[in-house]
Amino acid sequence: MTATEPRARARIAEPGEGISLDELALAARNHGMPLEALRYDVTPPGLHYVLTHYDIPAVDMASWRLSLGGAVERPLSLSLEDLQRRPAVTTRVLLECAGNGRARLEPRPVSQPWLLEAVGSAEWTGTPLAGVLREAGVGPDAVDVSFTGADHGVERGVEQDYTRGLSLAEAMRPDVLLVWAMNGAALPPQHGAPLRLLVPGWYGMAHVKWLDRIEVLTEPYTGFQNATAYRLKVDPHEDGEPVTRIRPRALLAPPGWPDFMTRERFVRAGPVPLSGRAWSGRAPITRVEVSTDGGASWDDAVLAPTDPAHPYAWRAWTYDWTATPGTHQLTVRATDEGGSQPVAQEWNRQGMANNLVQRVPVTVLG
Amino acid sequence: MTATEPRARARIAEPGEGISLDELALAARNHGMPLEALRYDVTPPGLHYVLTHYDIPAVDMASWRLSLGGAVERPLSLSLEDLQRRPAVTTRVLLECAGNGRARLEPRPVSQPWLLEAVGSAEWTGTPLAGVLREAGVGPDAVDVSFTGADHGVERGVEQDYTRGLSLAEAMRPDVLLVWAMNGAALPPQHGAPLRLLVPGWYGMAHVKWLDRIEVLTEPYTGFQNATAYRLKVDPHEDGEPVTRIRPRALLAPPGWPDFMTRERFVRAGPVPLSGRAWSGRAPITRVEVSTDGGASWDDAVLAPTDPAHPYAWRAWTYDWTATPGTHQLTVRATDEGGSQPVAQEWNRQGMANNLVQRVPVTVLG
C-alpha cells in the first residue's frame, strides 16, 4: 500500500451513520431540482440541478480564450465571439449527475449526497465541436481528447483543474457542442460561463464547465476524473468500468401536498392524476410503468410522443390513479431498448450510475 | 399536555446525531448561495438562496388574481397587469433565511439544515403595498395585515396555505413592495411567481411568495408561522419573541481552492486578498473586523461606500492578508449601530436568527 492509496478510495459510511457535516456542506452548495419541477418541459433557470466539484471560478472575459492544442496541425486560440460566429445549434437535453440516488444506497458512499433530484432539462445553444476539431486538423494518431475547465481544487489528495477525457469518436459526434447559452440566455456562472461542453446522452461529469483548454491526445487519457473518480467499482482494488451514458430512469412528481419536515405526501381520495418524466441516454424509452402497491403489480403509463428533433430530451408520461383511503407506495419504472430500471439496489462503492426505482409513500385522506 | 402538543415542538438532535435523511431531503430541495458568489453585487439567478416550505405551486396565470379584503372599504381583485400599471420601484435588497447557520448549532434544531449559505442579493421590482392598501381604504380599527401564498402543506400537524401576518405600521412602510420581477426579469417560479411580498430588512419568512391573498385584520394575527414557527424560544413552553429583522452578519468568500469532499481551503503563502459582504436589517453596518488567528486578535477591514439609494443592500469589504505557511482560522464579524455579531453561540430551539461568526480554516502552503 502506498502512502496515497487510502486517500484514493472513497469512504463508505458505517451502518446507521447519519449524514456528516461534510456531506451536508456539499448538499447546501450544490442543488437538486425539486421534483415538482418535473412539470416543466424546460427547467426554469435556478431549478436545474448543479454540481460544482470545486468553486465556481471567476472568469475574466477580457482575457478569456479557448485554446485547442495537442496532436493537431493548427493549434487554435478562440474568443467567445470567434465561437459565436460559427454555425449554431440549439438542442434540448436532459442532464443527470452520475451520483444521483447515492444518498439512499446502503451502505452509503460518502460524497455529494443526492437523493433523486440531480436532474434537469435545458435548451443549450452552441457550435459543434467536430467543426472546430476539423479546423484545427486532428492528427492521424489521435485517440482521445481532453477537456479542462477553469475550476481548480483538490480531490482525494490530487490537486487539479477539472479535466475529463473523451474518445475521439465521441468527440466527433455531430451533436457534441461547445455551448455558450442555456434556455436562450448567456450561460449562468454555475452552469459553466462562458463555455461548457455538451455530450448528449452522457452523465453530467462529461459536460465540462468553464471549459478553456482542449487537447487532442495520441494516448488514452488517464487523468483522475476518468481513471479514479467516475468508475463502477465494487472492490476498491479493481479498475472498474468507466461511467458513460445515462441509464434509464422515470421520476414521478410527488402528488398532493407535503409535510414540511418529512416531505411525506397527502392526497384526498378519488381521481389523482400522476405525471412525470422518463429518459435514457443509451437508447429510446419504450415503456413507463406505474405501481400503486409498492411494486406488487404494475400498469402502463401513457407516454407522450417523442420529438425526433430532441432525442436526448426527457419524455412526459401520465397515469390516472384512483386513490383509496390509507397508505400507498407509488413507484415507477422506465424501460428503454436496453432494459428496465432495477427494483432492487445495485451497489457500487462510489454510488455512480445508480438508477434504482423511486418510491413515494402517500397517505390518502378519506 | 394536549394530543397535538408534541407535534407543535421542533425536535432537537441528540448529541453526535448525524444529519437525517429528512433534513437532507430539505437540503437537496432548497439551496444556498455558494459563498464564492459573494463576489457578485447582485446574485445571478439560480445562485440566490431558496427556501420553499411546501412545494413550488403551479400557478394558472389565466385565472390568477390578487385579492385584498378584510377590514377595508373597497375589497380589490387585481390582475398582474393591474399591478404593473401602478408606480413601479426597483430596489436592491439582501435576503437571509431566519434559519441560516442552524446546522452548526449544538445541539442542532432539526429543520432545514443551513450552514451559512442562506443569503442572496437581488434587484426587486414592484409597486408599493401602501398605495394598494390606501386604494382599498384601510378601516380605522385595522391592526395587522395577513399575506397568504398559493403554497399548501402541513407543518407540525397543521395543514395550511403559507401565511404571515405583519403589523399595519410595517405594511404601510413605503419600501414594502408587491414584487413581480427579480434582476430585471419576471420572477422565477422558485422565488414566488407571479407575485411576492418584499419587506426590506426582515428575514426571509416575511417576504411571502406566490402571494395571492391579502387580508386587513382588526385583531393581531396569530397563525402558525407567526405564533409557532418563527419564534425565539429556549424553553418549549414559552411563547418566545417573534423573529423580525435581520441581525448583523459578515461573510468571507473562502480564499484559495477547496478540497472537493471536506471543503477545506488551501492558499499559497504571500499576499492573499480577502473579501466578502456585510449586512444588517436593523441598522447601518459601521464596522467589519477580520481575525486570522481564530479570534485572538482583530483588525479592521476596509468597507466599501454605502449606496444611500439601497439601504438594505449588502456592503462589500476587503482585507489584505499576508499568509504564512501553516494552518490558520479566518473569522470575520460585523457591527451595526445596535452591536456586534457574537463570537460564541447563542442558542434557541428552532435555530432562528442565529448570527454567530463564520470560521474558515485555511491551510497555507509554503
Give the CATH number of the domain where residue A75 resides: 3.90.420.10
A189 chain-B contacts, CB cut-off 8 A: 37, 40, 44, 47
CB contact under 8 A, B28 and A115: yes
pLDDT of residue B45: 83
B54 in the same domain as B142: yes
Q: How many domains does chain A have?
A: 2
Mean pLDDT by 10 residues, chain B (366 residues): 52 93 96 97 95 97 97 98 98 98 96 97 98 98 98 96 98 98 97 98 98 98 96 93 98 98 97 98 97 97 94 97 98 97 96 97 96
CA dist., res. A268 & res. A105, Å (int): 31
Residue where a domain stops, chosen among A184, A210, A242: A242
pLDDT of residue A7: 57
**How many Cβ pairs within 8 Å bridge chains A and B?**
187
CB contact under 8 A, B32 and A29: yes
A278 in the same domain as A259: yes
B34 chain-A contacts, CB cut-off 8 A: 29, 52, 55-56, 190
- From the list B36, B55, B257, the residue facing A36 with the nearest CB is B55
CA dist., res. A245 & res. A284, Å (int): 13
Cβ(B119)–Cβ(B95) under 8 Å?
yes
**For the segment A152-188, what is each residue's pLDDT rounded down to a tens digit?**
999 999 999 999 999 999 999 999 999 999 999 999 9
CB contact under 8 A, B190 and A47: yes
3-state secondary structure chain B: CCCCHHHHCCCECCCCCCECHHHHHHHHHCECCCHHHHHCCCCCCCCCCECCCCCCCCCCCCCCCEEEEECECCCEEECHHHHHCCCCEEEEEEEECCCCCHHHCCCCECCCCCCCCCEEEEEEEEEEHHHHHHHHCECCCCCEEEEEEEEEEEECCEEEEEEEEEEHHHHCCCCCEEEEEECCEECCHHHCCCCEEECCCECHHHCCCCEEEEEEECCCCCCHHHHHHCEECCCCCCCCEECCECCCEEEECCCCEEECCCCCEEEECEEEEEEEEEECCCCCEEEEEEECCCCCCCEECEECCCCCCCCCCCEEEEEEEEECCEEEEEEEEEEECCEECCCCCCCCCCCCCCCCCEEEEEEEEC
Chain B residue closest to A22 (CA)? B262
CATH code, domain with B285:
2.60.40.650
Give the closest-approach CA distance of A198 to chain B in angstroms: 20
Residue where a domain stops, chosen among A189, A212, A242: A242
Residue where a domain stops, chosen among B225, B242, B259: B242
Which residue of B23, B24, B275 is the best one to mutate when testing the A interface, meaning the one whose CB has the most A CBs within 10 A? B24
pLDDT of residue A9: 77
Record the cell numbers describing residue B304, joined without a space: 466599501
CB contact under 8 A, B28 and A113: yes
Q: Is A156 helix (H, G, I), strand (E, B) or coil?
A: coil
B205 in the same domain as B256: no
CB contact under 8 A, B153 and A115: no
A117 chain-B contacts, CB cut-off 8 A: 28-29
pLDDT of residue B8: 64
B66 in the same domain as B20: yes
Backbone angles phi, psi at B343, to 5 degrees: -100, -10
B261 chain-A contacts, CB cut-off 8 A: 22, 26, 110-111, 155-156
CB contact under 8 A, A152 and B257: yes
B18 chain-A contacts, CB cut-off 8 A: 17-20
A113 chain-B contacts, CB cut-off 8 A: 24, 28
A211 in the same domain as A89: yes
A159 in the same domain as A72: yes
A254 in the same domain as A236: no
Domain that includes residue B349, residue range: 249-365
CA dist., res. B146 & res. B215, Å (int): 5
A226 in the same domain as A124: yes
CB atoms within 10 A of CB B42: 15
A122 in the same domain as A90: yes
Which residue of A30, A31, A41 is the best one to mutate when testing the B interface, meaning the one whose CB has the most B CBs within 10 A? A31
Cβ(A155)–Cβ(B260) under 8 Å?
yes
pTM: 0.96
First-to-last alpha carbon distance for chain B, in angstroms, is 62
B338 in the same domain as B231: no
pLDDT of residue A163: 98
- From the list B55, B117, B191, the residue facing A28 with the nearest CB is B117
Which residue of B31, B60, B205 is the best one to mutate when testing the A interface, meaning the one whose CB has the most A CBs within 10 A? B31
A314 in the same domain as A223: no
Which residue of A12, A35, A42, A55 is the best one to mutate when testing the B interface, meaning the one whose CB has the most B CBs within 10 A? A55
Per-residue pLDDT 10s for chain A (366 aa) are 333 444 567 899 999 899 999 999 999 999 999 999 999 999 998 999 999 999 999 999 999 999 999 999 999 999 999 999 999 999 999 999 999 999 999 999 999 999 999 999 999 999 999 999 999 999 999 999 999 999 999 999 999 999 999 999 999 999 999 999 999 999 999 999 999 999 999 999 999 999 999 999 999 999 999 999 999 999 989 999 999 999 999 999 999 999 999 999 999 999 999 999 999 999 999 999 999 999 999 999 999 999 999 999 999 999 999 999 999 999 999 999 999 999 999 999 999 999 999 999 999 999
- ipTM for the predicted complex comes to 0.95
CB contact under 8 A, B30 and A31: yes
Consecutive H or E run containing A329: strand A326-336
Label the pairing between strands B66-70 and B211-217: parallel
3-state secondary structure A166-219: EEHHHHCCCCCEEEEEECCEECCHHHCCCCEEECCCECHHHCCCCEEEEEEECC
B50 in the same domain as B32: yes
CB contact under 8 A, B188 and A44: yes
Q: Which residues pair with A198 in a beta bridge?
A: A177
Cβ(B109)–Cβ(B350) under 8 Å?
yes
